[in-house]
Amino acid sequence: MPVAILTSALSWHLPQPFLQRLFFVTQVTYNPLSPSNDCIFSGPWAGFVNMTKTLPPSSMILLLFLLAILVPVAANAASHTNSGFPKPVVDAPISPSHGHEEAVLSGGCFWGVQAVFEHTRGVTAVISGYAGGKADTARYQQVETGRTGHAESVRITYDPAQITYGELLMIFFSVAHDPTQLNKQGPDWGTQYRSAIFYSTPEQKKIAEAYIAQLDSAKVYSQKIVTQIAPLAGFFAAEDYHQDYVKHHPDNPYIVINDLPKLSALRKQFPQLYREY
């Protein structure tokens, strides 16, 4: 019996990466030959959604869309306990001369994380890519299985005379993602969406470890930070269509729901570090 993804059966015309992100949470299969037009759900919300699977497909898609909106909003609202975000006590000093240094961070979908740091003063380039796995599996379709060891990541090139590594981590922990979510971020689930810092020098490792301890001690979050700190074995640039995704697709529903609020938060919380494209 033929089975198709619900969006295909309904002839939706949303960008494919958005569909993958939306339906990774709860995969939907639609049986077009079924007299009841029923849908079959799998994923973290399967139990709840299957209770309503007698609804028509159009109602199902609306339900999933609302869940995609409400869950990340509720999670982010509950995570912060302090109004002000502390600066790192342990940090590298501002360099007396201009230069180029790199940081590799993972905080869920790389679309929004890339956009946040592209709007950060002192950052000269941001590339979306994969880190944590091997070169031969650094492809989107493989990484999205969650079995490659890779995490969706960004490589940030910055001028240490304008911004420090610790300040990048401050933005990473405060507005770029929620570091208390284990192997997920908002509507995206899997180890490829884990929170991680891939350090390339002993100093980066020291600053990251000290900052996490500082934030946990200050109880900035109501739950413990689960960010992984690991040595950088390699960074592999993602496919071209992933680069600058927020800039090129600001009206994409996934971007509107999950990523534009991060840019607003960056502008509001750190106006001295915010810049336009």
More confident residue, 45 or 141: 141
CATH 3.30.420.40 is held by the domain 101-269? no
Sign of CA dihedral 157, 124, 277, 271: positive
Q: Which entry of 109, 126, 151, 215 is annotated as an active-site residue?
A: 109
For residue range 37-74, what is the model confidence (pLDDT) as tens digits? Answer: 333 333 444 344 434 334 455 554 555 555 554 444 44
Q: Which amino acid is at 136?
A: D
The contacts found for 247-254 with CB under 8 angstroms, 24 or more apart, are 247/115, 247/118, 247/277, 249/15, 252/14, 252/15, 252/18, 253/14, 253/18, 253/65, 254/18, 254/21, 254/22, 254/111
Q: Which of 17-26, 98-107, 169-178, 211-220 has the lowest mean pLDDT?
A: 17-26
Work out the pLDDT band at 127, boundaries 50, 70, 90. Answer: very high
109 carries an active-site annotation = yes
Work out the pLDDT band at 27, boundaries 50, 70, 90. Answer: very low
For residue range 148-165, what is the model confidence (pLDDT) as tens digits? Answer: 999 999 999 999 999 999
Mean pLDDT value across residues 20-34: 40
Task: Provide the residue ranges of all domains of the chain, joining segments of one domain with +.
Answer: 4-79, 101-269
Work out the pLDDT band at 83, boundaries 50, 70, 90. Answer: low
Residue 271 pLDDT greater than 60, yes or no: yes
Query: Is the whole model's pTM more than 0.85, yes or no?
Result: no
For residue range 183-196, what is the model confidence (pLDDT) as tens digits? Answer: 999 999 999 999 99
For 44, 157, 158, 265, the CA distances from 109, given in Å and listed in that order, are 18, 19, 21, 17
| Predicted local distance difference test score (pLDDT) of residue 50 | 39
| Predicted local distance difference test score (pLDDT) of residue 62 | 56
- Identify which of 240, 204, 259, 159 has the alpha carbon closest to the alpha carbon of residue 196: 204
The span from the CA of 194 to the CA of 150, in Å, is 9
More confident residue, 108 or 54: 108
| Predicted local distance difference test score (pLDDT) of residue 84 | 82
Work out the pLDDT band at 15, boundaries 50, 70, 90. Answer: very low
